[in-house]
Amino acid sequence: MEVLMPEPQIYVERTLAIIKPDVIDKEEEIEDVILRSGFHILQKRKLQLSPEQCSNFYAEQFGKMFFPNLTAYMSSGPIVAMVLARNCAVSYWKEMLGPSNSLRARITHPHSLRALYGTDELRNGLHGSLSISSAEKEIRFIFPEAILEPLPTGQRARDYLNLYVKPTLLAGLTALCKERPADPM
C-alpha cells in the first residue's frame, strides 16, 4: 500500500522591511544591501499611507509622546514595503537595522542601516518587524493578499526534515562519493 505524501514545502522566515519617506531616493542602494545579505525579496510595493493607516499600523505605539509625529512622518510621502525572506529573517534584519535611534546607532553600530540612512530618533530611515508574530501581522496589513504558511516547530519540523531533507541529502552525498571527481580542487 502506497502512502501519498503532500509535496514538500520550504518554510523560510519572513519579515517586513519598510524604506521610509525620507530615504526613498536610496531605494536601489538599500535593496542591493538587502540582496547581498542573503535575503530574498518575496513581495515589494510602493505606496503612500494615510495618517489613519499609519495610526492603525503603529497602533501599539498609541499614547506615546512621539505617536503624532510618527504618523505624520510615515504619511508624509511614499514608502517602499518589502517582504524579506531567509533563515532567521526577523533577527537578522533587526541586526542589520541597528538601534531605532539613528544618533545612537552612529555611535554603537556605525555600519548599521539606520546609522547610514537615518537622521535622528524619529527619522531612522527603515522599519523592521520586532518578532515573527508582528511580522505576520504587519505583512498582512501591507500585503493583504499575502498567504503566510505557519512555520513548523517541534515534532512537525523533525518529521519534515526526516521525510524530505535527510533522504535528499543522503542520495546527493552518496552520488557525489561514487563519482569521485578527478580534480576536486
As given in the structure block, the three cell numbers for residue 37 are 545579505
d(CA 166, CA 181): 23
Sheet with 126-128: list strands edge to edge.
Answer: 40-47, 79-85, 14-19, 126-128
Give me the amino acid identity at 51. P
Nearest C-alpha neighbor of 128 from the set 16, 41, 24: 16
Q: Is 127 a catalytic residue?
A: yes
Residue 105: CA count within 13 A, CB half-sphere = 25
Start-to-end CA distance of the chain, whole Å, equals: 46
Nearest C-alpha neighbor of 49 from the set 138, 170, 153, 146: 138
Query: Which residue out of 40, 109, 111, 127 is catalytically annotated?
Result: 127
Point out the residues that are catalytic.
127
